[in-house]
A and B are shown apart, each in its own frame.
Chain A
Amino acid sequence: MATINKKRQLGRPVSIVGAGLSQFGAFPEKDSRDLFVEAFQDMVQSMDKGFDIHDIECAYVGNYSSDLFEHQGHTAPIVADWLGITPIPITRIENACASSGSALREGVMAIASGMYDVVLVGGMEKMTNLPTDGVTDVLASAADGLYEVPSGLTFPGIFGAIAKAHMDRYETNLDHLLKVGIKNHQNGALNPKAQFQQTITEMMERRKARAQERGQEVPAWETDLDFLRDDRSNPWIAWPLRLYDCAPITDGASCVLLVSAEIADNFTDTPISVAGIGQATGKPLHDSEELTSLSAAKAASQQAYDMAGITVADIDLAEVHDCFTIAEIVASEDLGFFAPGEGPRAVDEGRTARDGDHPINTSGGLKAKGHPVGASGVGQVIEIYHQLRGEAGERQMKKANPSVGITHNVGGTGGTCVVNVLRRES
């Protein structure tokens, strides 16, 4: 930790001037390259002043495991070919679920170095080719294959162990976890790109209606929590985590266009600047300082806040890595929004809702928007981009004119964490 706290600066400022997201969901006939093109098309069509594809000088694409999901390695050149941008350099970045967070960081540094003015960064993951047990094994390979996985721990299992430690140490209970999912589904219901555009209430009512149509006994659920506490509608995955505590298996892609800030107005009058970037590294959970916190998230956020010259009080909203509901609670503490152990109460009090004082995951988060792992980091940046530009539609956060948003993208169980501070300068 000796040098990680040194305040660092970009060589020159970098802006985001375009953002595109594919539909998130399960698309049996699409490969990751097709999803990336879909995200790219969304970006091109939404750019304020248009854009010439020949301006792109370099690209980075985050992807966790096309090798295991699609039996396709070396995917970056394929993306370049599908976009028709060969021979510009393109590099795949792999940091598990933080792959595109790290890809964005590489792109920012490529511009800040002075080497390039226009860089495309994004991410993609095609996950639904494999059945659930296959996906479980692929995701588990982001943990330590020699000393964590052989014990039987899966990815949800490790976060389940974090949840149990949080419950032991603080007043966290199972309902707190479920309420994170309820909140994120409320946001996802308003996101036209989300995999689940339904609230938990809507899902519950649909299940009841279906039972009635089929002449089956209609479950007696009255509230979202009734539905989520029922082992039949919400089975255990890794106690204390149930199905609706886990982000889904998703196909999707994301991309943004980064440019040197000095040319940003060629592309838009409302660029979003990358005011701070931080990335830090952690150890397997058993070797972590605490079982209730990700040390990499604390270190990465401190770096990013310092670079941007902000404190937590300046942050209007956050997209955090809710691969599991407990992960959102832990993130809200690691990022400094709430003291350790206070995250669950903040959920109870609605402080992380769209109209709360610390809105988290207005997109629906990974939980409802979906989690195509290699695409998620840039996907988070895209939500902040739209919110800061006031163009998030029905899910626009309540506070007017937000100017600072952050993203928190975790790889594995905290082996990697990338935090970005994004700011509207105009």
Chain B
Amino acid sequence: MTSEFNAAAFYKHLKEGKKLMGVKCQDCGHLSPEPRPMCPVCHGFNMEWRQFSGRAKLSTFTCISIVSAAMAAKGYGRDNPCCAGIVTLEEGPRISARINGVDGRNPQDIKTGMDVVLDLEDVDEESPSLAFKPA
């Protein structure tokens, strides 16, 4: 699957390809999980697709009780807080993601530093989003 380096392609890879596809700068090697047409480090325009393994560690998180309309539609809210956070991918970069498979009502039991993996079970057809779950 070849496509332009943009969010539409990112979510298409996630939904249809079942993989986390970002980009690598062919000039300086900078990695970005968000597909972008220009390297923000060396400012070159020679990006290429790069698959990320989907293995990561949980760097920080929050359990959200007052949720966005999109998360309310998924059943999250005051009685079922939505856990979201930032994961550090095995390849180095960090990215924001929902954290599935944890109990948002008991944040003290969710451990930063734990191993997480890409969760493809929950890739919404309508509005796909990135999620990880405990490894």
Contact = CB atoms under 8 A, between A and B. Distances in A.
A413 to B, nearest CB: 11
Contact of B71 (A132, A152, A168, A284): A152
B64 A157 contact: yes
The secondary-structure label for the interface of chain A is: helix
A106 interface: no
A162 B60 contact: yes
A315 interface: no
A161 B59 CA distance: 9
> In the complex, which of the residues B34, B69, B85, B98 has the most CB atoms of chain A within 10 Å of its own CB atom?
B85
Contacts, number: 115
Interface in A275-318: 284-287, 291
A192 interface: no
B67 A152 contact: yes
B25 interface: no
Interface residues of B, number: 38
Contacts of A291: 59-60, 86
Q: In which size bucket is the chain A interface?
A: 35 or more
A26 interface: no
Interface in A193-234: none
Contacts of A115: none
A69 interface: no
B97 A151 contact: yes
Nearest to B34: A147
Given A152-B76, A236-B81, A136 B86 contact: no
22 contacts: A133-B68, A144-B96, A150-B129, A152-B70, A153-B84, A156-B64, A157-B84, A160-B63, A161-B61, A164-B62, A165-B59, A168-B112, A237-B65, A237-B66, A238-B64, A238-B66, A239-B64, A239-B65, A284-B96, A286-B86, A286-B94, A287-B93
3 cross-chain pairs, A with B, having the tightest CB-CB distances, nearest first: A160-B62, A150-B129, A165-B60
Interface of A: 132-133, 136-137, 140, 144, 146-154, 156-158, 160-165, 168, 235-241, 284-287, 291
Interface of B: 7, 10, 34, 59-72, 76, 78, 81-82, 84-86, 93-98, 104, 107, 112, 127-131
